[in-house]
Structure 1
């Protein structure tokens, strides 16, 4: 067959006009009651997998996923993901099953993806589907915790999931209009005693009320980035935030098992008490000495070591903000090494609760 290049060129020139005309007259059916053509569905899925694979090449996956972040990730999954994707013992909603494309049962497909690919999907979402991006692009640590949770999902039974996500309590409503429901939203991660269930979850019991309220408002207004906190705070009636801060501030902070006072604690104490002026590292206790100082400066005594280390790294990266004093912590953490952060975190986590 002899191809006339002139005719081919004319055909290619007319094709966009034909497509535009077909679109204008409504030829393409955008109704969700029927699926794509098979070729269209294959192409879109092929394009998605190829794009995820390619962009994941730029993701620096950790050698070990943060398993200590699985409990808060489970709480986020229950609120933000399970409605569409289902969960152990909780089938996908009928609305999700009617979506095009249908959100997959993640326990059946998660093993098809590498860690870096899961990170890419969770962080950036997928266009032309109902999969949104993570609520903030500034908290890769939270996203890796979600990847760690997803890795456990295929082998997780319903009882284990409910314990992680709800702590054997009823599932909080999607919108907490009553104070009891707002409190249930908090206690699924922070516990009824305010001591938390994860090394990455802060102790709220006995924390300063002004600091707690300032933090809640910062999450609500998006001034402090956290996908795991912004969703539950935004689901709560803002009128309850002050009462929630007061409630947790009034709880007694229990003593925790103290770690052995090793070299890390001693070196951390040196920085906390004296800083390193030559390296522009101020003394932590200059601001965090006791509960009588500025009410917006949080108590650090007895906080989980992993939580403190994570927050210091966020301050050092400039990724943790939201209060009028955040810039002070950014400057204080700027010259801390990873070893310094580990030592300071070990020191404050070893302190008994103040009276």
Structure 2
């Protein structure tokens, strides 16, 4: 080895030993009360922006107008983000404001980032800042829903934000206690009637109580992945799960909409006979109503956007939960876009 190389290696070793000794002494101040040095702050912020910019290059941005989950994302933002960042009409927690540097208010910061960069930040979080990754990182649809909400955030005032989160006639969960508080929390997305406050939130009115209870437990235990629902159920008293399931099971089903008759007719054929050439069994063999296994969900009258999303999640191996989810994963993987459009059109209109 050349002398200069030996000197260089010795120097690196000496620096490493000195750094380890300095850390061992414990004199470096890690207290959060003083924050980083100014130069450290600038370096970390520069590195964060550069990293997000580079990793976002591989992100394909969908049409955010068709993303869905905007209303549910507002509820999630209130539950998981407003504590630190605040929201229209909502101040950040004093504890968050004592962080150095404090979490930024987002309304005046969103425009600094592209949609792809926001996706990267929401999905993966940012180290050393307290910004966590999305609770279910494989649910890209939910992350894009949050990006769509963040794009709307600067245009919201306090009244419109509160209506997105709680609805015009829904009580805030903090004003009541026990079962009523948990029901109010569910109603923020599902409504007190179980019909759902947006097209991407499922109809749970009249659903099997056994299925609803199994779903709540699956979300709580992480067997069914959803960043929105996993946070929601973690804030709900597990002792009220059965009462909540029975409450929504007892709500009347909504009127069924009518769609494209040709698509509905083909979807009905799939539902009744399946697709033998693809090995797809008849949907109604499992989802045919109350005489079937109560662990199977009733999907007649369900929302089309929700059904399409669930089928695609099953096909991608990203939807779990009950003991029968593996059956749906195999079935969904064989369906093409036309099959999905037709069968969901049928079930949306079915009575």
User: Aligned residues, how many?
Assistant: 347
- Report the alpha carbon displacement of residue 287 of structure 1 after superposing the two structures with TM: 1.0
- Aligned 1:123-202 pairs, distance under 5 A: 123-168=123-168, 169-173=170-174, 178-202=178-202
Q: Distance in 1 between matches of 2:25 and 2:66?
A: 53
Q: Which residue of structure 2 aligns with residue 244 of structure 1?
A: 244
Name the SS for the 1:108 alignment partner.
coil
Q: Distance in 2 between matches of 1:144 and 1:295?
A: 33
Q: Distance in 2 between matches of 1:101 and 1:267?
A: 58
Structure-2 change in CA distance of 1:145 and 1:201 (3 Å)? same
Q: Which residue of structure 2 aligns with residue 88 of structure 1?
A: 88
- Report the alpha carbon displacement of residue 13 of structure 1 after superposing the two structures with TM: 3.6
Q: Distance in 1 between matches of 2:66 and 2:277?
A: 34
Q: Which residue of structure 1 aligns with residue 63 of structure 2?
A: 63
Structure-2 change in CA distance of 1:286 and 1:101 (3 Å)? same
- Report the alpha carbon displacement of residue 7 of structure 1 after superposing the two structures with TM: 7.4
> TM-score normalised to the size of structure 1?
0.93
Cα shift readout 1:79-122 (whole Å, capped 9, x = no counterpart): 01110111111011111111133211111111111111111111
Q: Distance in 2 between matches of 1:218 and 1:101?
A: 37
Structure-2 change in CA distance of 1:94 and 1:278 (3 Å)? same
Q: Distance in 2 between matches of 1:219 and 1:307?
A: 17
Q: Distance in 2 between matches of 1:254 and 1:263?
A: 23
Q: Distance in 1 between matches of 2:177 and 2:331?
A: 39
4+ runs deviating over 6 angstroms? 4-9
Q: Which residue of structure 2 aligns with residue 282 of structure 1?
A: 281
- Report the alpha carbon displacement of residue 177 of structure 1 after superposing the two structures with TM: 6.3
Q: Which residue of structure 2 aligns with residue 206 of structure 1?
A: 206
Structure-2 change in CA distance of 1:9 and 1:254 (3 Å)? closer
Q: Distance in 2 between matches of 1:122 and 1:154?
A: 17
1:117 equivalenced with 2:86 (yes/no): no
> TM-score normalised to the size of structure 2?
0.94
Query: Is the Cα–Cα contact under 8 Å of residues 64 and 148 in structure 2 kept in the other structure?
Result: no
Q: Distance in 1 between matches of 2:138 and 2:6?
A: 53
Name the SS for the 1:68 alignment partner.
coil
Q: Distance in 1 between matches of 2:273 and 2:7?
A: 82
Cα shift readout 1:112-151 (whole Å, capped 9, x = no counterpart): 1111111111111111111011111221111110010001
- Report the alpha carbon displacement of residue 295 of structure 1 after superposing the two structures with TM: 0.3
Q: Distance in 1 between matches of 2:51 and 2:65?
A: 23
- Report the alpha carbon displacement of residue 343 of structure 1 after superposing the two structures with TM: 1.2
Q: Which residue of structure 2 aligns with residue 291 of structure 1?
A: 290
Query: Is the Cα–Cα contact under 8 Å of residues 259 and 345 in structure 2 kept in the other structure?
Result: no
Q: Which residue of structure 2 aligns with residue 325 of structure 1?
A: 324
Q: Distance in 1 between matches of 2:227 and 2:112?
A: 25
Q: Distance in 2 between matches of 1:314 and 1:11?
A: 54
Structure-2 change in CA distance of 1:237 and 1:177 (3 Å)? farther
Q: Distance in 2 between matches of 1:158 and 1:103?
A: 20
Q: Distance in 1 between matches of 2:66 and 2:84?
A: 25
Q: Which residue of structure 2 aligns with residue 75 of structure 1?
A: 75
* Structure 1 unmatched ranges of 5 or more: none
Q: Which residue of structure 1 aligns with residue 38 of structure 2?
A: 38
- Aligned 1:91-106 pairs, distance under 5 A: 91-106=91-106
Q: Which residue of structure 2 aligns with residue 225 of structure 1?
A: 225
Query: Is the Cα–Cα contact under 8 Å of residues 65 and 145 in structure 1 kept in the other structure?
Result: no
Query: Is the Cα–Cα contact under 8 Å of residues 67 and 149 in structure 1 kept in the other structure?
Result: no
Cα shift readout 1:154-186 (whole Å, capped 9, x = no counterpart): 111111111111114343249x96111111110
Name the SS for the 1:215 alignment partner.
helix
* Structure 2 unmatched ranges of 5 or more: none
Q: Which residue of structure 1 aligns with residue 342 of structure 2?
A: 343
- Report the alpha carbon displacement of residue 59 of structure 1 after superposing the two structures with TM: 1.6
- Report the alpha carbon displacement of residue 67 of structure 1 after superposing the two structures with TM: 4.9
Q: Which residue of structure 2 aligns with residue 52 of structure 1?
A: 52
Aligned-pair RMSD on alpha carbons?
Answer: 1.9
Structure-2 change in CA distance of 1:253 and 1:35 (3 Å)? same
- Report the alpha carbon displacement of residue 321 of structure 1 after superposing the two structures with TM: 0.7
Q: Distance in 1 between matches of 2:174 and 2:197?
A: 21
Query: Is the Cα–Cα contact under 8 Å of residues 64 and 144 in structure 2 kept in the other structure?
Result: no
Query: Is the Cα–Cα contact under 8 Å of residues 70 and 146 in structure 1 kept in the other structure?
Result: yes
